[in-house]
Amino acid sequence: MNPNPQQDGTRMKNFRLVAVWLACGLTLSACGAFDQINARTLAREGNEAYRAYDYRGAIAKYREAEKLDPEVSNLYLNLGYSYFSIYDPSSEDPLEKGAAREAVRAFDEHLKRHPEDEAARNFQVKIMIKAAPEDPELSDRAYQLFLSDLEKDPKDTEARQYLVTLFIDCKRYEDAVKFFEKDLSERPDDAEIMKILAIVADKSNRIQEAVDWYWKRATTAKNDEQRATYYYEVGTYAWNLLHYAPNRVSGAEAVKLADQGIQAVRLAMSLKDKYAEAMVYGNLLYLKRMLYEAEEMGRYWDSALAYELRAAAGQILAERKKEKEGAAGSEGGEGSAPAPTQDGAAPQPPSAPQPPAAPAPAG
């Protein structure tokens, strides 16, 4: 039988198409292999730049590698470390100023692939906490993250400490009150919570709310000694504001704050005998009040009452010194007078756990 020319032509066309498809497949496969090799090479060069503290150079290499093959081992982890290392919220350089968001994005990509990597998560949390005061979006994300962690495990002390840090650094007073509302309803005398709320209020420039929380802590204290200490801390808080941050309070508000501090230290003195430290701060508060008092007679009484407390404190401290020297002498040692306490700074919140600085890039 003679071959059909039309059939032969069709067969040849099909053979050519198959050959083209095979050639394209092999080419694409080769291109993909080359991309993977080049991506790994770029990632290694990025690691070398990172180890040489050339974080910008490392970022450039990692980003090039990402375009070729985003699945290179630990690419996003190392990219996150690099952005973490250059972040500077005060910088005028857009790359440094925007590095926090890029670091969070990179850690997100890494954690999609390695959800069990707690170290990477810690670095992501750290960069979010650092950037939160300047970046409301990251602040909100961190807030929701910590709430979610605590919902899963109410005893997660790390998440709680991070959340307190966020409340303070980002001045989220209303969120703090809402978060602790249930705990305070169950434990209305929880001094630690009231101290935290006072600190958050102060950092949020809610001075009267801060005074109110410190005051409430004193009124709900379990015994007179503790109550005296907490009233004393109201006085030290008031004086520290008037002395170290006069730009935050002035005029009639300054007089009101001084009066609240004076009332608090006098309550402390009534609860604790010979409370010289409270007398010292009473003296200092009267002197501060005198600076804002408009009436001459008022300034006269402030000065007189300040002197009275100073004299009383001096006598008590002299007695303490004499007693201490006598005790030291009987033991064959030497004594010295204790200085009045200077722990009037506002109590500090628990510090959030911090991971170490960015490590060397992963291999």
Residue 106 pLDDT more than 90?
yes
Report if pTM > 0.85: no
Write out the two tokens for 50. Answer: 């990172």
Q: Where are the domains of the chain?
A: 33-149, 207-355
pLDDT tens-digit readout, 150-203: 999 999 999 999 999 999 999 999 999 999 999 999 999 999 999 999 999 999
Task: Give the whole-number percent of the chain exceeding pLDDT 90.
Answer: 79
Distance CA 106, CA 111 (A): 9
The pLDDT score that the predictor gives to residue 329 is 65
Percentage of residues in the chain having pLDDT higher than 70: 82
What average pLDDT is seen over the chain? 87
Token pair for residue 306?
């300040």
Q: What is the pLDDT of residues 336-363, one digit of tens each?
A: 444 444 444 444 444 444 444 556 677 6
Encode pLDDT of 81-91 as tens digits: 999 999 999 99
Token readout for 144 is 């929701």
d(CA 208, CA 340): 27
Helix and strand totals (H; E) in the chain = 15, 0
- Rounded to whole angstroms, how far apart are CA atoms 79 and 85? 10
Domain 33-149, CATH number (from 2.40.10.120, 1.25.40.10, 1.10.10.10, 3.30.70.20): 1.25.40.10
| Tokens found for residue 251 | 């005029």
